[in-house]
Amino acid sequence: MVSWDAFAAAAPALAEAGRRLIYRTETGEALLASVRGDEPPRIHPIYVALLDGRLYAFLNRSAKATDLATDGRYALHTHQDPAAPSEFMLRGRVRVVGDATEREPVAAGWYFETDESWILVEFSIESAVLGERESRDEWPPRYSSWRAAAVAGLDR
């Protein structure tokens, strides 16, 4: 698994399309799927941001935060625009960021006010999939994908 920067270096076109879809509404938005043990996945709308080559989210203390702190696996999917329904998906593991020197700059530019009750996570990327469609009538999507195993030795 790698940082967003390492992913972007290995698959620049895919990363740029993903960035465009994450920021489709100017605010980074996505759906987060988290898992815990044998329980079914949980799906949550969240805000995300790409800062200094890393993909972050602040999560309130909730089931999704507990899932990620306990298990770490995630899937992230961008919201879809019905008129141009391209989609971008990531899978990997999160790292809970506890270091104040990393946390403070992320919090300073966040979409809403955070405090110590919010948990900051960084998404490490194992795989990415882009499904491109110009309109709702275009089917099937044109898929492209990338896996971290293909770039062994990059930033982990």
Lowest mean pLDDT among 8-12, 85-89, 104-108, 147-151: 147-151
- pLDDT confidence tier of residue 51, bands split at 50, 70 and 90: very high
pLDDT attached to residue 121: 96
Owner of token pair 């919010």: 118
CATH number listed for the domain at residues 4-151: 2.30.110.10
Query: With bands split at pLDDT 50, 70 and 90, how would you rate the model's confidence at 152?
Result: low
Q: Tokens 């062994």 belong to which residue? A: 152
Q: In terms of residues, how long is the chain?
A: 156
Q: Which residue has the higher pLDDT, 1 or 85?
A: 85
User: Residue 31: what pLDDT?
Assistant: 97
